Structure 1
Amino acid sequence: MDWITHEEDVWFDFRGSSPDQLVSGRYYKGTVDGFADFGVFVDLAPGVTGLLHRSELDRRLESLDWEPGDTVFVQVKNVRDNGNVDLSWSIRQSGDEFRGAQVHDPDGDADGETIESDDDDDGPGPVRQTPTPDHDEALNGDADADADDESDVDADGTDTTDTDAADGTDTTDTDAADGSTAASADEPTADLDRVDVDSLDDRVGETVRLEGEIVGVRQTSGPTVFELRDASGAVDCAAFVEAGVRAYPDVEVGSLVRLDGEVERRYDELQVETEALEILADDEAADVERRLADALTAEARPESATTLVDGDAVDAVAEDLVDAAETIRRAVLESRPVVVRHAATTDGYVAGAAIERAVLPLIREEHAAADAEYHYFTRRPLEESVYDMDDATNDVTRMLQDRDRHDEKLPLVLLVGTGSTVESSDGLGLLGIYGARRVVVDADVADAAVADDCEAIVNPGLAGADAADLSTGTLAATLAATVDPDVADDLSHLPAVSYWGDAPEAYVSLASEAGYDADRTRELREAIALEAYYQSYEDKRELITDLLFDDAGGLAGHISEQFRRKLDAEVDTATANVETRDEGDLTVEVLDTDAYTHRFDFPPTSLLLDELGRRRDADLIVGVGTDECYLRSAGDLDVRGVAGDAAERVDDAGITAASVRDGRIEFLSGRRDAAVDAIVAAAVERLA
């Protein structure tokens, strides 16, 4: 996401004339213009109107009590090339709920000016500043309220609060030696005992002392927000000097600190208003570091794998599952983002959703911020089952931007059902160069060499077990239950959903016990497959959650009907245009997928060929595109071997195995006919 909760601290009064003058991420005061079935139109200035889509609301559209002409506060999410303005919901809907307000006047002299509070309108309320040393003395009992009043007046009656007696310069917010903000010089002096972050829920309104590691620093348009983690959890601590000015500039991610402040609950979020902050050193820093390390090790590692159903394949990787679960739990405890990459297939979505189901509660428990689950967990589907340089470059770019802009730690990248073969080595290697942690989980094919490209790999085949009846969705659900045993019951039906063929009876029974019979698991499987195709690069978090875990209103059945209708129509068309070849004792069916499928509509080629394989008796099915083909066979087919043999037959066609998992082989389009003939011949030889 491009914004964080604390960007709400300042709202802007837009005085421009064009949408492209708006700044994405800022919060603006607007006026309700009108309603539509899909959202609310909000005027930000004369001639500049944005749409607050119903999907951005935190409530149902019809439950809004807004009327045309009402003043509202919204965030500019995006300004499109055509001038359309996408708006997001602001949890704060009154000016006095913000820390401050500024003028946004792109073409005028007023740009950046502060808007003063006015009790008669929706202007901002008072702002708490990070205290100067005088405030610390008051906290420490060195001066009472009367003394504070007197200290503001010199002997001759001159007010000296904000000026140096010698030269009249302002010293309240600036250190005389180096010009740094006074917030950087504040040190805790109050006589307070250290408390744990997990106790703050019972301490709202109290001034507390925390000790821990700074795991995040975010400079907002209002305060500087430090995320502090101790042995029990993490909490946001806001330090304010003036709007947009960095408080405590010496404090960075990784600093071990002592912080005093008042605990507040701001719109269902715990937050500490920082009053003093000190970087610890030597023995004090070592004590904090030791407490954190001991707590992290004790909390992160599960005692054992939590299996959904006993089986040799899962048993073979039990210790690997524990290692992977520890890595995931440790990332959450370290405030390290978790990025899950999976294929845009039913098996991939089931696997990714299982991990998501386990990790999100841990993030909510660990972080007080209401949006933490979106900040620390991301699920990004892949259009292919190979984690290539394009995918890795995308991830590296994002993580470096997050590191530089938000001081965010480099993520744990969890590759589920992808990344397990050498075709992904380049992508994994790029992540490794930048220090991102990598864990691969795949029940299907895997290459031992990949173990050198990641910190951990969970694959039954590499562990010497037969995993023919194990789906990646099942393996990921087992990992998820190991990460958080409390969600194991929620996951019990997922293995049965993940199988396109006949699911093992143990998983069918497990789903049935959870209330999911064969028809319901089929509907879920088909519904996920259809939704996985559309916007395949999006996680569709809420929709997938509704389908897999909260479907009480027939959503899966509705989507499943569309799946079946679209798939049946495409199978009928493909069947009518299949070219059948007799190759010795084998029957080979070849389909020109460019000519005889709707390439830009559902189903995708891979899924169509899978269905043809299930419905037809051919020994080998080949789907041929412009510069690639897919192989499907009930027999044991070595795709890399086929590609290598074919390349020897036609050495100028650029034939190479692109994805072992997908059965995909690439070639040069100019040598398509020769390449396909060579690939078919090589495959037949290996199947014979």
Structure 2
Amino acid sequence: MGSCIICGSSTDGYICESHEEDVVFEFEGSHANQLTPGRFYRGSVDGFADFGVFIDIGDSVTGLLHRSELDSRLESLDWNSGDSVYVQVTDVHDNGNVDLTWSIRQADREFRGSLVDTPEGDELPDEAEAPDPNEHAVAGRPAAEPDEVTADQPRTDGNTGTETTADTGDATLAEPDADRERVPIEDLESRVGDPVRVEGEVAAVRQTGGPTVFTLHDETGAVDCAAFEEAGVRAYPDVEQGAVVAIEGRVERHREDLQVEASGLTVLDGEERETVENRMEEALAEQARPEEVPPLAEDDTVADRIEGIRDLAGLIRRAVLDSRPVIVRHDASADGYVAASAIERATLPLVRDEHAQSDAEYHYFDRRPLGEGVYDMDSATRDVTNMLDANERHDEKLPLFVFCGVGGTGASRDGLELLSLYDADRAVIADAADDGATEALVETDGTTASALAATVAVHVNPDARTDLEHLPAVSFWVDTPEAYADLAAEAGYDAERARDLRESVALVANYQAYEDKRELVADLLFDGRQSLAARLATQFREKLDTAIETAEAHLERHEVDGTVLNVLDTDAFTHRYDFPPTDLLCDELFRRTRDDAPVLLGIGEDELLVRHAGELDIDRLAEATAERTLEADVSVGAAGDERLTFLVGERETVREAVLEAVGEQA
């Protein structure tokens, strides 16, 4: 029976079951069947094919990383043959083929431990078993220097303050000298080779086969600090993520990165802890505060919401600085994709600047469409499960959730409340949202989510302004405000090109509605793929015209109390699982028929879409319908969405009740 190199718990071997995915393995076997599915392995690029990348794992086994497993498009990968990569083995077939998946961790330092997978079993890396005491960079182990504590001297444990004597002939760990001047982490570059004292918060802890590595951040940056107790043994086992500490050691370069090779660590409390926390909080608050930048265009609706916009931008900037993931949940519509892409475009450069690892943008920013346009309990449960798993397995901080075009009250309330129970911050750009359920609220009443999100984005990152100027015009289906149309035209997007973008994004949004389609959407919105947008827009119009022609042939015309209504049975006369989606079809159908009929009702199995040209109040309509159909459980759909929901068995009763209620209101 051994102990886990990460948590110290008793286990067979070096790693417990709950932390196996936190370790990267070096493979020393000779056959594919010696690999362990589920483990992460260090490999190297062997070659490229149209369908993926071949990865050598060890000297004798090659696996396939299929292009469908890659977060980036195959042709845009910045990889060369021989480059080191990190992958997870998902399956080993009887014929020796090895299936791989992409690891978001693409450096040793991003794993919490390292082991060697041999045919005889797992082993510690050789460098951890026999470190060179005269070389600082080996396993992050501090070497003995004349002015440092040696094995003959007592040492002070930074956790307990008690003196102990090392039982090895190596350099030992001691309590930092409180009188030594603190060095900000941003100044360590000029102090290579010098003994220093750094203070800050422990952002992460990982146990390698040699030292324990504490990632420390202060108000100026972050640095890894390696503390060596014994090969594979956890140094300072009581110090976990979130502890405020002082570390003393020598600044060295370790695999091209700076690293403090710790000779002592102490946990700060009381006034010392408060001083460090206040210093970090003041600096982060100042960094996160958005600049006062002018809106993209003159827009009274935006101007009325500018304080909420700045608050939301500040939340995003602070999340990036706090190394918290930003997760954007958005409607799977043209407006939802454009709004979320604006925030993505502004935030990703900040993520790249804050984190050195090449895949940071995939780790610290995620965009997740909502196919139903509602943040319901199903979506919230999935998010909570994922974030708690990431927190438990990888010490990942709880994310900031930003909702674009979704997240209003009604059907989304329960989902938002579930997030709030776990103290996950929530910010909403949507109609009629309940600001009591969020940290920041920007209501879209009178404009589009994209117009507001683009303004949020330019406050998040003013350098992204030129990339964002055309986006508001893309989001308006009709009556684009002149200020936004002119702004887009100045950026090279006239009315026709803006329409092509809107329609092409709407088309791709309909397919694989739960996928972010990051690269495809970026091609359309930012990378000048004008011919691609025009071709997809042509498909959009052809498919929409065909659906409209079918729907127009099956419209039922009614006149109730002098009001003319069109009714479409969306179950019978639309392709519900193909393009266009029902709500988009009803939008366009109403635009084409509203001169003759100011109200359109699209009734489906358990929902009724309402499109109108007058002052029809959807809440009053729901109340009047419910009074007439007590058994139908009639309610308004997602906040800001003109639809009613009801029980399937009451469809015909609801249909007649709505016709009467619309006539009364009109």
C-alpha contact (below 8 Å) 1:256/1:279 kept by paired residues:
yes
Asked whether the 8 Å contact 1:235–1:368 carries over to 2, the reply is: no
- Identify which range, 334-343 or 279-288, moves more after superposition: 279-288
Residue 76 (str. 1) matches residue 88 (str. 2): yes
The answer (yes or no) to whether the contact 1:103–1:115 under 8 Å persists in 2 is no
Tell whether the 8 Å contact from 1:306 to 1:485 is kept in structure 2 after alignment.
no
Matches within 5 A, 1:56-455: 60=75, 75-76=87-88, 78-79=90-91, 85-88=99-102, 102-103=116-117, 105=119, 110-114=120-124, 128-131=138-141, 135=143, 138=145, 140-141=147-148, 171-172=167-168, 186-188=174-176, 194-199=182-187, 209-218=197-206, 225-237=213-225, 246-259=234-247, 260=249, 262-264=251-253, 266=255, 270=257, 272=259, 274-276=261-263, 277-302=265-290, 304=292, 306-442=294-430, 445-447=431-433, 450-455=434-439
Contact 1:104–1:112 (Cα < 8 Å) also in 2: yes
Q: Report how far residue 31 of structure 1 moved.
A: 9.4
Give the alignment partner of residue 635 of structure 1, picking from 614, 639, 648. 614
| Aligned counterpart, 1:486 | 463
* SS in structure 1 at match of 2:123: coil
Q: Hey, what's the Cα distance between the residues in 2 that align with 1:104 and 1:227?
A: 30
Please report how far the alpha carbon of residue 7 of structure 1 lies from its aligned counterpart in structure 2 after TM superposition: 6.5
Distance 1:203 1:339, change over 3 A: farther
Distance 1:79 1:499, change over 3 A: farther
State the alpha-carbon separation in 2 of the partners of residues 655 and 424 from structure 1.
17
Decide which of 519, 522, 525 is 1:542's aligned counterpart. Answer: 519
8 Å contact from structure 1 (residues 52, 88) kept in 2: no
Matches within 5 A, 1:607-686: 607-617=584-594, 618-686=597-665
Q: Is the 8 A contact 2:136 2:252 kept in 1?
A: no
Counterpart AA for 1:569: T
> What is the CA–CA distance in structure 2 between the aligned matches of 1:93 and 1:320, rounded to whole Å?
39
Check 1:656–1:111 CA distance in 2 against 1; reply closer, same or farther (3 A cut): same
Q: Distance in 1 between matches of 2:101 and 2:126?
A: 25
Deviation at 1:491, TM superposition (A): 1.1
Spell out, residue by residue over 1:643-687, the C-alpha distance to the aligned partner (whole angstroms, 9 max, x if none): 22111111112222222423222212122111222223323322x
Q: Counterpart amino acid of 2:432?
A: A
Choose which of 18, 27, 32 in structure 2 pairs with 1:12: 27
Tell me the SS of whatever aligns to 2:122.
coil
- Per-residue displacement from partner, 1:350-374 (whole Å, max 9, x unpaired)? 1111112222222222233333332
Q: CA deviation at 1:579?
A: 2.6
* From 474, 484, 489, the counterpart of 1:507: 484
Q: What TM-score, normalized by structure 1, do the two folds share?
A: 0.79
In structure 1, what is the Cα distance between the partners aligned to 2:27 and 2:534?
Answer: 46
For residues 305 and 90 of structure 1, the distance between their equivalents in structure 2, rounded to whole angstroms, comes to: 34
Which segments of 5 or more consecutive residues in structure 2 lack a partner in the other structure? 1-18, 128-134, 153-164
- What is the CA–CA distance in structure 1 between the aligned matches of 2:107 and 2:395, rounded to whole Å? 29
SS at match of 2:138: coil
Q: 2:490 matched to 1:475?
A: no
Give the match's secondary structure for 1:440. Answer: strand
What is the DSSP-based 3-state SS (H/G/I as helix, E as strand, rest coil) of the residue aligned with 2:401?
A: strand
* Offset of residue 473 of structure 1: 0.6
% identical aligned pairs? 44
CA 1:31–1:410 in 2, change beyond 3 Å: closer, same or farther? Answer: closer
Q: TM-score, normalised by structure 2?
A: 0.81
For residues 522 and 243 of structure 1, what CA distance do their matches in structure 2 show?
A: 63
Deviations 1:74-113 (A, max 9, x none): 512644999982333799899xxx99651255xxxx1213
For residue 344 of structure 1, what is the amino acid of its counterpart?
A
Pair 1:558 & 2:535 matched: yes
Deviation at 1:539, TM superposition (A): 2.0
**d(CA) in 2 for partners of 1:532 and 1:656?**
27
Using the alignment, how far apart are the partners of 1:509 and 1:485 within structure 2? 20
- Alpha-carbon distance in 2 for matches of 1:597, 1:58: 34
In structure 2, the partner of 1:22 is: 36
CA contact (8 A) 1:198 1:232 kept: yes
Tell me the alpha carbon deviations over residues 182-209 of structure 1, each in whole angstroms, 9 at most, x when there is no partner: 99x5544699754333345666777754
Q: CA contact under 8 A between 2:113 and 2:206: conserved in structure 1? A: no
